[in-house]
A and B are shown apart, each in its own frame.
Chain A
Amino acid sequence: MKSQAKAVIAISVGIILLAIAISTNQFLPDLIQELLAELTRSATAGIPTP
C-alpha cells in the first residue's frame, strides 16, 4: 500500500475517534480539566510531601 494511502487511513481513523470523543462528551475541556486536576503520584514519586 502506498504511504499516502496509509497516511489518509491514519488521519481518517483519527477523525472518527475525535468525532466519537466529541459525541461522547470526552472532548469537553471540563473532562480534561477534571482528569488533570492534580499531579499524579507517578509524577511526584519519591518526593516527600511538605
Chain B
Amino acid sequence: MAWHKKPKTNLTKLRIVRMIVQIIMFFLLNLVFFEIGANWLVLPINMPQTIFSSSEGSFFLLQRMLSRAIIPLIPLASFLIIGGIFGRLFCAWGCPFGLFQDIIGLITSWVKKYEPTHSTNNSMRQIGELITGGTLLISTFIGISVGLGNQADVEAAFGSFFEQPWAVLSPAVFLFTAIPVIVYWGVLGELFRIENLGSIDILLWIRLAIFIGAIIMIIYIPRGWCRWICPVGIIMGRLGEHSLIGVGRNITKCNHCGICEDVCPMGVQILSHPAERVRSVHCTNCLDCIPACDEDAMELKIL
C-alpha cells in the first residue's frame, strides 16, 4: 500500500454551493416531522431511514424489500436511471453521509491528508465490492426463504441482520438512525452508566467501533468511505463509468499541470483518462476540478 501527502484544497464558490445543495437535500429527506418530507424520493444515496425521514436510500430500501420477498423494482430503477444519466452525481451533491464526510474534512483541514496511489485506490475498492455482493447475497437468500414460508426460522437465524444486513454495520445508520434513536428514546444516560457498561450489547460496541474507525479514515483520506466501502458508491461507480453526463478535458487548453488531480476529493487520475471524458468508477461529478483549472480546460460534458 502506498501513499503520498495530498495538497490542501481551497474552499471554492462551487464547493460552497455544493454544500448548500447537500444541506437542502438532507432536510428534504428529513422533514417528516413537518409532514413535508418527500417519501417518493428513493435516491441512490447513503441515507437510512431515521426517526425524522420518510424515505431511505436505494440500497437500504433494496435490502428491506428483498428480505420481505418483494422484487425491488423501485430501488433498481433508481440506480439504473440516475446512474445511467448522472453517474455518481448524488454521492457529491445529495448524499447526507457525503456531506458528513465533507464537514469532517473541513473541520480537520489542519490535519495532513493522504492520497493513496492509483493502484491502492482501486484495490481497496474490493472491500466495498465484497460488502455489496455479500449484502445482496444474504438479502436475496433471506427473501427466497421468506417467500418459501420459512420466515420465523430465518428471522431467528439472522437476528438483527434479518431485515437490512448492512444497516447493522453501516456508520451512516449509526450516525443518522442509532444516535438520534438513543437520544429520542432517552436511553443515553442508562447506556453510559458505569455499572451498565458491561451489559451493553456487543453489537452496539461493534457499531461504535466501526463508526469511530470510519471517522478516523475520513479525517486522513478525503471521502475515504465513498471511495472504498460505500455499497451505493460501488454500484453507482459501475454505472458512472458509462453515464451520459460527466467531466472531460479540452485537449487544446490542457497543459497537463495536474491541478485537477490535486483537488479531486476522490483521487481520480484525470490525466490518465481520455480527454473527451473521465470515465472512472471514483468520479462523483463534484465538479471541483472545473474552477480549479487555470486554463479552463475542464468541462462538464454530456454524452
- A33-46, CB under 8 A of B: which get 1 and which 0? 10110011111111
- B119-161, CB under 8 A of A: which get 1 and which 0? 0000000000000000000000000000000000000000111
CB–CB A33/B76 < 8 A: no
Q: Give the Cβ gap from A19 to chain B, nearest Cβ, in Å.
A: 9
Q: Give the Cβ gap from A21 to chain B, nearest Cβ, in Å.
A: 4
Select which of B61, B80, B165, B205 is within 8 A of A42 by beta carbon.
B165
Verify if B33 is at the interface (C-beta below 8 Å from A).
Answer: no
Q: How far is the CA of A26 from the CA of B71 in the complex (A)?
A: 9
Give the nearest-CB partner of B63 in chain A.
A42
Say which size band chain B's interface belongs to. Answer: 35 or more
Query: In the complex, which residues 19-33 of chain A have their Cβ closer than 8 Å to any Cβ of chain B?
Result: 20-21, 24, 26-27, 29, 32-33
CB–CB A7/B242 < 8 A: yes
Indicate whether A42 sits within 8 Å of B167 (C-beta atoms), given known contacts A10-B83, A18-B77. yes
CB–CB A3/B279 < 8 A: yes
Q: How far is the CA of A15 from the CA of B76 in the complex (A)?
A: 10
Verify if B56 is at the interface (C-beta below 8 Å from A).
Answer: yes
CB–CB B160/A46 < 8 A: yes
Indicate whether A15 sits within 8 Å of B160 (C-beta atoms), given known contacts A39-B181, A42-B168, A47-B181. no
Interface size on A, residues (CB 8 A): 34
- A1-20, CB under 8 A of B: which get 1 and which 0? 00110111011011101101
Select which of B61, B84, B164, B204 is within 8 A of A46 by beta carbon.
B204
Q: Find chain A residues with CB under 8 A from B81 CB.
A: 10-11, 14-15, 18
CB–CB B244/A7 < 8 A: yes
Q: Find chain B residues with CB under 8 A from A47 CB.
A: 178, 181-182, 185, 187, 201, 204
Give the nearest-CB partner of B243 in chain A.
A7
Indicate whether A33 sits within 8 Å of B168 (C-beta atoms), given known contacts A45-B160, A49-B185. no
- A sample of 15 more A-B contacts (CB under 8 A), given A39-B50, A40-B163, is A4-B303, A7-B239, A7-B243, A13-B80, A14-B80, A26-B70, A35-B61, A39-B177, A40-B64, A42-B161, A46-B160, A47-B181, A47-B182, A48-B191, A49-B185
